[in-house]
Amino acid sequence: MAWTRKILRVDLTKGTCKSEPLNMEWADKYLGQRGLATKYLVEEINPKVDPLAPENKMIFATGPLTGTTASTAGRWSVITKGALTGAIACSNSGGYFGPEMKFAGWDMIIFEGKSAKPVYLVIKDDDVKLVDASKYWGQTVWTTEEGIKADHQDPQMRVASIGVAGENGVKFAGVVNDLHRAAGRSGVGTVMGSKNLKAVAVRGTQGIKVVDPDGFADAVAAGKVVLSENAVTGQGLPALGTQVLMNVINETGALPTRNHKDVQFESASDISGEAMGEPRKSDGKANLTRNASCFSCTIGCGRISTVDPEHYTVKDREQYQIASGGLEYEAAWALGAATGVNDLDALTFANFICNEQGFDPISFGTTVGAAMELYEMGVLTTKETGGIELTWGNAEALTTLAELTGRAEGFGAEIGLGSKLLTEKYGHPELSMSVKGQEFPAYDSRGIQGMGLTYATSNRGACHLRSYTVASEVLGIPEKTDPLSSDGKAGLVIAFQDATGAVDSAGLCLFTTFAWSLDDIAPQVNGACEGDWSVEKLLEVGERVWNLERKFNLDAGFTGKDDTLPKRLLKDAAKTGPAEGKVNELGKMLPEYYSLRGWTDDGVPTNETLSRLAL
């Protein structure tokens, strides 16, 4: 129950689509979505495979709660070996695509091989076929989604597609659904493009059954009350979205600025959630048009925004004078503070382009920041950049590169390499603010110590969504810990990592955990799924998933030496704010982390740990 118990296997080389039963023994150990799809991937590919080779596989996966009435049950993920990192990749998205996939009767879609020509997959319940996508190859996400719906005369069809970034091999291309929701990180869209797969369009008319309807309904209702009464999920996120954090993190002294040279941005308030709601002088309208919700979400943190019609980016360009996906905190930071740009409309436009062309604004903005520092140093000049002056705070440089990057044109092709390869190419790899090749999100780990360990140990490269210790260290959830102290952070990071693995595998949004603990989630999973889904079992699922991902990366060639941070964070002290004089104390936290994880001194899970977790 809750699972559809069916997998769709699509061999793009042969052009075949076949149904097969879900492995329920694995479902009992890995639950769904991130966990279960990772198990399938690990069993079916060589960890050393080239991410862009046909032998790499890509899995679209839902969780057992995806598509149910549980709050935020709209999540789905793309699991593959990442093009940006070469590590295990699981990129999570919201919107309505995942539930529609469940309504069509599929828990997962496994894509293997490579099509000889561009194709897209059409699913209408059990009717599945590959369709020629030649007319959409070279088109944006926006054009592709609307065109496919029109072709099939079904405006309720849900589409997940790649833009030109995925086609052109931009290392951090994503998969975009519902026009502006995205599985955005690690280059999962790049893998999709390498397979000549343009899109997946799905329409489902089947329901989802749960094992205990009354118990499930009671647990869901109780969970919604907890969310509505919580200050973050009931007030802050609906009003300001994730952008509620911009001023908070800046005041904490942990807002990475100008490629982590600084920890506070003097213009943070100009690009904050509060600023998005203020009337513009030009037309009296606000950047923020309204909030938005994903499927079955009672929080509504999504943003829908418009750009000033007289702004240089959209003036005389009607296709961008629309209301579309607005800035979330990570994107606003990467496009703004990381580059020194404080033009809110320019950031919004660049974010539109990221959605339209299908690439990750975090990696994009951070890579532009690294390029700006290379320019400041004189390593890059206008000769290399094609005349673009990459000075800090240059909004026109940012928006120009946004348009060039997805198309892989001019210096945009260099930005599309990501910061690791870009800085290596120009002789300064130390300027890449990344772990395992993936760029940092919006938290400086000198001011929030736990995030340094989170980044260093993250299986998919630097990521805040694998262990959001900011909740504890800054917001006091579930209890307050000192952000400037490294004491006890190893245990805190592990607790967040394991709980996150369970939430991701269930098909729920992590934002619920600002209010919910696993005590709120376990009754919902237990009411939906057969078996005994206690808090303890969910934590075991999370720990098992984490160790399986770790084992894949070790087999792929990563070692404990990759669990590190750029020297800037370990050697250069914060210059201002509460963390002034502090560096990240990773050297103190990492050995304790390995020990608590049941790993060797060099970061390898012991045979005892693997046996205990049935790995």
- The answer on 392 and 512 residing in a single domain is no
User: Is-contact 96 158, C-beta < 8 A?
Assistant: yes
Answer whether 462's CB lies under 8 Å from 434's CB. Answer: yes
CATH number of the domain within which 18 lies: 3.60.9.10
pLDDT of 204 reads 98
Average pLDDT value for residue range 151-179: 98
How far apart are alpha carbons 295 and 102 in whole angstroms? 12
User: For residue range 539-587, what is the model confidence (pLDDT) as tens digits?
Assistant: 999 999 999 999 999 999 999 999 999 999 999 999 999 999 999 999 9
β-bridge pairing 127-132 and 288-292: unpaired
- pLDDT score of 598: 98
How far, in Å, CA of 1 to CA of 505, rounded?
16
Bridge partners (DSSP) listed for residue 123: 128, 202
On whether residue 94 sits in a domain, the answer given is: yes
Confidence class for position 345, pLDDT limits 50, 70, 90: very high
Q: What was the pLDDT predicted at 282?
A: 87
Cβ atoms of 372 and 259 within 8 Å: the answer is yes
pLDDT at 1: 79
In a domain, 111, yes or no: yes
CATH number of the domain that residue 403 is part of:
1.10.569.10
Same domain, 502 and 581: yes
457 and 571 inside one domain: yes
pLDDT per residue over 184-205, tens digit each? 999 999 999 999 999 999 999 9
Which of 361, 295, 354, 325 shows the shortest CA–CA distance to 181?
Answer: 325
Q: Per residue in 76-98, pLDDT tens?
A: 999 999 999 999 999 999 999 99
Domain membership of residue 43 (yes or no) is: yes
What's the rounded mean pLDDT across residues 242-269? 98
Cβ atoms of 557 and 246 within 8 Å: the answer is no
Query: How many structural domains are present in the chain?
Result: 3
Domain end among 187, 203, 219: 203
**What local confidence, expressed as pLDDT, does residue 281 receive?**
87
Tell me the pLDDT tens digit for each residue of 20-79: 999 999 999 999 999 999 999 999 999 999 999 999 999 999 999 999 999 999 999 999
Please state, in angstroms and rounded to a whole number, the distance separating the CA atoms of residues 451 and 439: 13
Residue 478 has pLDDT above 90, yes or no: yes
- Packing angle, helices 489-506 and 535-556, rounded to 10: 100
Give CA torsion, residues 126, 132, 134, 140, to 10 deg.
-10
Looking at the structure, tell me whether residues 268 and 416 fall in a common domain.
Answer: yes
What is the structure's pLDDT at 231? 96
Identify whether residues 422 and 343 lie together within a single domain: yes
Asked if the model's pLDDT at residue 403 lies above 90, the reply is yes
CA distance 301 to 327: 11
Single residue among 432, 450, 480 that ends a domain in this structure: 432
* Residue 172, in any domain of the structure: yes
As a whole number, mean pLDDT of residues 591-608 equals: 98
- What confidence tier does 477 reach under pLDDT thresholds 50, 70, 90? very high
Q: Are residues 361 and 446 in the same domain?
A: no
Per-residue DSSP letter, 332: H
Is residue 231 domain-resident?
A: no
Instruction: Using a cut of 0.85, tell me whether the model's pTM lies above it.
Output: yes
User: Do 363 and 510 reside in the same domain of the chain?
Assistant: no
Q: Residue 486 belongs to a domain with what CATH number?
A: 1.10.599.10
Q: What are phi and psi of 332, to 5 degrees?
A: -60, -40
Residue 319 exposed, middle or buried by CB count within 10 Å (0-12, 13-18, 19+): exposed
What pLDDT does 117 receive? 98
Which residue segment(s) compose the domain that 279 sits in? 257-432
187: left (phi over 0), alpha (psi -120 to 50) or beta: left
Q: 410 with 443, same domain?
A: no
Contact 172, 364 (CB under 8 A): yes
Asked if residue 511 and residue 418 are part of one domain, the reply reads no
Average predicted confidence (pLDDT) for the chain? 97
- Please tell me the distance from the alpha carbon of residue 204 to that of residue 154, in angstroms, as a whole number: 12
- The reply to whether 403 and 447 lie within a common domain is no
pLDDT score of 433 more than 90: yes
Determine the angle formed by the axes of helices 449-457 and 489-506, rounding to 10 degrees.
60
| Alpha-helix runs per DSSP H in 244-394 | 245-252, 273-276, 329-335, 344-357, 361-376, 382-385
Provide, rounded to the nearest whole percent, the portion of the chain with pLDDT above 90.
99
CA 121, CA 239: separation in Å to the nearest integer? 37
What is the residue whose two structure tokens read 């659904």?
177
Residue at which a domain ends, from 416, 432, 448 = 432
Q: Which residue has the tokens 């102290």?
A: 485
Residue 243 lies in a domain: no
In a shared domain, residues 403 and 456: no
Separation of alpha carbons 205 and 225, rounded Å: 29
Average pLDDT estimate for 231-239: 96
pLDDT > 70 fraction of the chain, expressed in percent and rounded: 100
Nearest-angstrom CA–CA distance, 235 and 214: 29
Q: What is the DSSP letter of 280?
A: P
**What is the Cβ-side half-sphere exposure of residue 258, based on CA atoms within 13 angstroms?**
19
Together in a domain, 426 and 453: no
The three-state secondary structure class of 84 is coil
Phi, psi of 57 (to 5 degrees): -115, 160
CA 143 to chain centre: 23
